[in-house]
Amino acid sequence: MSTVELRVWGVPRTGPALLRMASGRRGLRGLPGLRFAKLLGTGRGRTFTPGDADPHHWALLTVWDDDAALDRRSHGPVVDAWTGASDEELVVRMRPLAIRGLWSGRRPFDGLEVAGPGHDGPVAVLTRARLRPTRALSFWRAVPPVVPDLHDARGLRLALGVGEAPVALQGTFSLWDSADDVVAFAHGSAAHREVVRRTRPERWYAEELFARLAVDSVAGTHRGVAP
């Protein structure tokens, strides 16, 4: 069965991390069974703006044909380099439930086997958007009011900002106890509803992706906490 994995590393030294970000992309190209891969910076999840960037935590999102392909490559040179330089690591394995949109002009989850609609368990939500340069300031002003509602939301285990760059390429990753908790937040937060309502008329995004995923396993910690 197709597998999506997110690894998040905590690193004490930021300079070598930037070098690994630059070189790691080459090391991921052409791996058998690997459909899609992105090395990502992260944010603290407090504002979801460029000022939220966390230089001590970095991530790798990968999409694989199946568990076997991932297991064969899960300790390849790119992952080994990050793990060896880190002082903590979080690993989340998932399967797609619902996906829409594009990432860098691609549909990274196309053709993957989708978990059944009756999934009863933890879920993850991944969003990614490429902001229109002329609309970025408006977007960053609109997002902060959502954050208090998110962090107070029932069932939230973890919320991170993620992205290929701190400016213009914005994303989020969150872990929840259940899909019902995600729906309750999406419809129960007035601030979130307002941002969703404004998205189309404000034309914030040149490209966007939304994915809800069934969580198969969570191992490790982020900021010393096991989600």
**For 60-119, what is each residue's pLDDT tens digit?**
999 998 888 888 776 688 999 999 999 999 999 999 988 899 999 999 887 665 655 667
Look at residue 9 in the predicted model and tell me its pLDDT.
97
Distance (Å, whole) CA 15 – CA 50: 19
Number of domains in the chain: 1
Predicted local confidence at residue 85, as pLDDT: 96
CB within 8 Å of 19: residues ≥ 6 apart: none
Which residue is listed with tokens 């910076």?
Answer: 41
pTM of structure: 0.90
Structural domain for 174, as ranges? 3-220
Distance between CA atoms of 156 and 154, rounded to whole angstroms? 6
Query: Residue 226 domain-assigned?
Result: no
Tell me: the pLDDT tens digits for 181-203?
999 998 888 888 888 889 888 88
Whether 174 is in a domain gets the answer yes
Examine residue 93 and state whether it is found in any structural domain, yes or no. yes
Distance CA 34, CA 25 (A): 13
The CATH number of residue 22's host domain is: 3.30.70.100
Return the higher-pLDDT residue of 26 and 10. 10
Question: Quick one: which of 5, 163, 173 has its CA closest to 73?
Answer: 5
Domain contains 225:
no
Closest Cα partner for 92 from 216, 223, 1, 224?
Answer: 216
- Residue 227 domain-assigned? no
Residue 101 within a domain: yes
Least confident of 10-19, 141-150, 169-178: 141-150
Give Cα separations from 181 to 43, 118, 148, 187 (angstroms): 22, 15, 16, 10
> Per-residue pLDDT averaged across 162-186, rounded?
87
| Contact in structure between 30 and 36 (CB atoms under 8 Å) | no
